[in-house]
Amino acid sequence: MSQITLPENYPISKQHISKLRNLQPASKTLYKEKYLNTYLKEVHETLKEKISVDLKVTAQKFNLDLISQEEYLKYKDGLLSSVMNDDIVDGLYDALIEMFSSIDAFSLLQTSTLESAHEQITIENLADFIGEQPEKTTISLTQVYDDAFQNCKSKYEKEVGTNVQEILAETKQLIFVTIFPERPIPSNLMLDADEDDLEIDGGKVDLTCPISRAIFKNPVKNKNCSHTYDLDALRVYLRSSNSCPECRASLSSSSYTPDLMMQARVEAFNRDQLLAQMVQDKMEDETDKL
């Protein structure tokens, strides 16, 4: 008995062709807003927790005389290099490449399918299909997608797209401020000049609200000028003013957004204050030895 070979593509009805033509893959911006941001938030929280645990363990080692004062004071520099090259960061890069490649591959699959689709078979045109020889060898839709995906992935790996660059830069900036909350982000980690808008005094980033003059608790950033304020203080301020207290740019209840980078700085700053208290007695003992 001869084997039965199934066809690799089928005639598509006009209705389904229309649906396929109207089907649009999520744009990279929409995809990021709906799906990617949740994933990124989990990755960022994992990185922040990893850094905090490492620093707490190191403080405990210092208190137990397992490392010297010099090793303790220099630990953050080594930690920065270690986390930047961590598997989590490498895994994020791979995930982003695959996510954006899949979006582009779907668009190519859609185009290829519409170009190779036959008209719908009916009683009237059935005779036209009997004994028909295809003009070219057809391949499965799975193969079309797989080939498109690999091509797109190779393209992204050779020339990293803007979306991937922005996300990786944001992640590396977050790592930096979580380790060094009061330092300005170095230029090699910047894609734009937003950091220049922060108050920097003596090489330190100001973590106090320009309205309340207290350390930020819930920082929000003005989308019109990038200055940051504490939310509670801002709500009171907006009752009597609609301009930025720093540069007079327009300011309203709809013009600000959470400042996640400043929030990470404040959390790290508060952590460092607790660590300083943890090793205070040990530091004083080491000073007395000098």
pLDDT given for residue 193 in this prediction: 42
pLDDT at 233 over 80: yes
Residue-range domain boundaries for the chain: 14-205+265-288, 206-258
Residue with tokens 């695959």: 98
DSSP states along 109-169:
HHHHHHHHPPPPP-TTTHHHHTTPPPSS----HHHHHHHHHHHHHHHHHHS--HHHHHHHH
Taking the C-alpha atoms of residue 278 and residue 282, their distance in angstroms, rounded to an integer, is: 8
Average pLDDT over the chain reads 79
The whole-angstrom separation of Cα 170 and Cα 189 is 8
- SS3 per residue for 229-276: EEHHHHHHHCCCCCECCCCCCECCCCCEEECHHHHHHHHHHHHHHHHH
Strands 200-201 and 204-205: antiparallel
Residue 169's identity, in one-letter code, is: A
* pLDDT at 264 (0 to 100): 96
d(CA 183, CA 204): 5
Q: Provide CB contacts within 8 A for 163, sequence distance 6+.
A: 28, 32, 96, 100
What mean pLDDT do residues 271-287 have? 88
Confidence of residue 182 (pLDDT cuts 50, 70, 90): very high
pLDDT of 1 > 50? The answer is: no
Higher pLDDT, 34 or 252: 252
Share above pLDDT 70 across residues of the chain, in percent, rounded to a whole number: 68
Mean pLDDT value of segment 180-201? 70
For tokens 């400042």, name the residue: 259
* pLDDT grade for 222, boundaries at 50, 70 and 90: very high
Residue 152's pLDDT is what?
72
55 sits in which H/E element:
helix 37-63
pLDDT value, residue 137: 46
- How many helices and strands in the chain, by DSSP H and E? 11, 5
d(CA 98, CA 153): 7
At 147 the pLDDT is 75
Give the model's pLDDT for residue 79: 93
Q: What is the pLDDT of residues 33-46, one digit of tens each?
A: 667 778 888 889 99
Q: What is the CATH number of domain 206-258?
A: 3.30.40.10
- Please state, for a pLDDT cut of 90, what percent of the chain lies above it: 44
| Contact status, residue 234 vs residue 211, Cβ threshold 8 Å | yes
Q: What does the pLDDT read at residue 272?
A: 96
Q: List, for residues 127-140, the tens digit of each pLDDT value.
A: 665 555 555 444 56
pLDDT tens column, 6-36: 444 555 556 666 666 666 665 666 666 667 7
